[in-house]
Structure 1
Amino acid sequence: MRKNLLTALALAALPTLTVAEDYGDMAQMEILPGWRTATGDHVAGIKITLAPGWITYWRAPGEAGIPPHFRFTSDGPITNITPHWPVPEVFDDAGLMSIGYHDSVIFPLTIDAAQAAGDMAVSGELTIGVCEEICIPVTFTFDTLLPEVGARDASIAAAMADAPISADAANVGSVTCTIQPISDGLRMTSRINVAQVSASEFVVIEPSNPQIWVSQAEVSRIGDTLSATVDMVHPSGQPFAFDRSGVRITILSGNGHAIDLRGCTTD
């Protein structure tokens, strides 16, 4: 079973346009500088290349994983940088499920920079977990320039396209959530009206409050109704007010198909 090391391992910043950093033979990071769009926004990417046998994690990594953490700074007119998440895989380690990527992954970045002129200087830090028999949190740092003139990068575009589809695109019907209190939090059962596309289905539930711990979902299906039940524990260890409109539900199928659902209603 994987064991988390408690000490983060940092790599030095490299002041180059395309940054390549590595930590031993486990993982390498590269900044893909991308291109400026017609609206003035910039599309870039962070590429992680993993050694054989190693994995890294999605934003909701499962009970054993370490979620990526992005931090960006800039002196330029950048108002927001949004990372995007390609469809992950579900890994089973002796019954302990985790969610992430093997071999390599590109996290596309959408940079709101409509007021920018010329190249943009951006500094950043990315902490990820890389795991084989053990899990190690690794922090990459970088300083880079995003060019005003750059060619469209097919690898970033492909990673952007490899995203979960919306409820409308998947012809999802009703999405309901039943809430009941438990001793240290809440139990939620989601019922989703959606056709089955794979024999294997895994459901991830993310509350709007990231401090809430969520158990692995117990998933079942009857016809076109997919059900997922989780326990949620607030740091207070007590039942709490739950915002149905802010919950995010992702259905991951064994064939690489994924559906991204936002919010649920009462039964």
Structure 2
Amino acid sequence: MLAFSLQGDFHFSAFRPISLDMKKLLAALLLSLPTVAAAEDFDGMVRATLLPGWRLPNGDHMAALHLELADGWKTYWRSPGDAGIPPSFDWRASTNLQGVAVSWPSPDVFWQSGMRSVGYKHEVTLPLRLRLQNGKQDAHLDGVIDIGVCNDVCLPQRLAISAELPAGNRKPDPRIAAAMADMPYDAEDAGITGVNCTVGPAPRGLGLTVALDLPGATGREETVIEFRDPDLWVADPQTSVQNGRLVAQTRVAHNSRAAFALDRSSMTITVLGGRMPVEIKGCD
């Protein structure tokens, strides 16, 4: 499997899932001032557009990366699965920039030749929240983005994009607002009343079982489990409904094969393919 390392020393993180009321508010945002977007077409498989967005009251800037994929092609979520290529971002050529937080709308789950991947087809807008050195001045976002795009074969793509981010633009872009409204629901909005984890020995690592009290679980759900530690590998979980609870069973190993401990408070559990996408932070 091809993989890319994260370049630069910027901070990358997902947005905290927004509330149901906020989702409705953002989805209702339909008007904005015209914006100028910088777009590039890469070999006909993917077209990348940088939406310049708007300046926030606290001096941060909201922008977005919009990807359009040719028919039959897909690209990957932040945790792509064993069959996917993880994306990476390099913003070091930007000016008036301290850091970038990439937010990930709810993805789809794909199966091919018995292997699972997680990502997007057709198009996706990734909101970018930029922490600026000076929130009162214009900024320039200059990025090199490594992604994988797949059809019958998977190919790495390097996207070079840039855009000016004017400090005076305060009107939200409805395309970015719609992407923010498409984030997974948090545990409270999804009605989750309990999250329990059990850890035990397993061949070449630790076994992990996550049980969720998720109303309306159908048994068709897929789960993704992530840890902050990039050296931890998590197998694609086996997910089922057992005794009225959604249960995900997986194995966790360290890339060095050394002994390790699991910080359950740093876990992110994402449920896809069911009644609604849900993202849960931490586990009891």
Match of 2:27 in 1: none
Q: CA offsets, 1:92-123, max 9 Å, x none?
A: 11321111000000000111237322321122
- Structure with greater strand percent: 1
Distance 1:138 1:262, change over 3 A: same
* Secondary structure in 1 matching 2:188: coil
Cα distance in 2, alignment partners of residues 86 and 65 from structure 1: 17
Q: CA offsets, 1:157-216, max 9 Å, x none?
A: 000110011111112112111111223211100011111254520000002212211111
Cα distance in 2, alignment partners of residues 231 and 207 from structure 1: 13
The question of whether the paired residues in 1 share the 8 Å contact of 2:196 and 2:212 is answered with yes
Which of 210, 213, 235 is 2:255 aligned to?
Answer: 235
Give the deviation of 1:19 after TM superposition.
Answer: 2.3
* Secondary structure in 1 matching 2:176: helix
Cα distance in 1, alignment partners of residues 65 and 46 from structure 2: 13
The question of whether the paired residues in 2 share the 8 Å contact of 1:249 and 1:260 is answered with yes
Q: CA offsets, 1:201-247, max 9 Å, x none?
A: 00000022122111110111135311101111112224421111101
Kindly indicate whether residue 131 of structure 2 is the aligned counterpart of residue 112 of structure 1. Answer: yes
* Secondary structure in 1 matching 2:137: coil
Match of 2:209 in 1: 189
> How many residue pairs were aligned?
252
The question of whether the paired residues in 2 share the 8 Å contact of 1:185 and 1:238 is answered with no
Give the deviation of 1:253 after TM superposition.
Answer: 2.1
Distance 1:36 1:130, change over 3 A: same
Match of 1:11 in 2: none
The question of whether the paired residues in 2 share the 8 Å contact of 1:55 and 1:132 is answered with yes
TM-score (normalised: structure 1): 0.88
TM-score (normalised: structure 2): 0.83
Which of 158, 170, 191 is 2:178 aligned to?
Answer: 158
List 4+ stretches of structure 1 deviating above 4 A. Answer: 4-7
Cα distance in 2, alignment partners of residues 162 and 126 from structure 1: 22
Kindly indicate whether residue 147 of structure 2 is the aligned counterpart of residue 92 of structure 1. Answer: no
Match of 2:84 in 1: 65
Give the deviation of 1:22 after TM superposition.
Answer: 2.0
Cα distance in 2, alignment partners of residues 241 and 5 from structure 1: 27
Q: Which deviates the most, 106-115 or 32-41?
A: 106-115
Which of 18, 26, 32 is 2:51 aligned to?
Answer: 32
The question of whether the paired residues in 2 share the 8 Å contact of 1:245 and 1:264 is answered with yes
Q: Give ranges in structure 1 of 5+ residues lacking alignment.
A: 8-16
* Secondary structure in 1 matching 2:51: strand
Q: Give ranges in structure 2 of 5+ residues lacking alignment.
A: 5-35
The question of whether the paired residues in 1 share the 8 Å contact of 2:3 and 2:85 is answered with no
> What does residue range 215-226 of structure 1 map to in structure 2 within 5 Å?
215-226=235-246
Kindly indicate whether residue 57 of structure 2 is the aligned counterpart of residue 46 of structure 1. Answer: no
Kindly indicate whether residue 177 of structure 2 is the aligned counterpart of residue 177 of structure 1. Answer: no
Kindly indicate whether residue 222 of structure 2 is the aligned counterpart of residue 207 of structure 1. Answer: no
Q: Which deviates the most, 51-60 or 188-197?
A: 188-197
RMSD of aligned alpha carbons:
2.0
Cα distance in 2, alignment partners of residues 110 and 6 from structure 1: 25
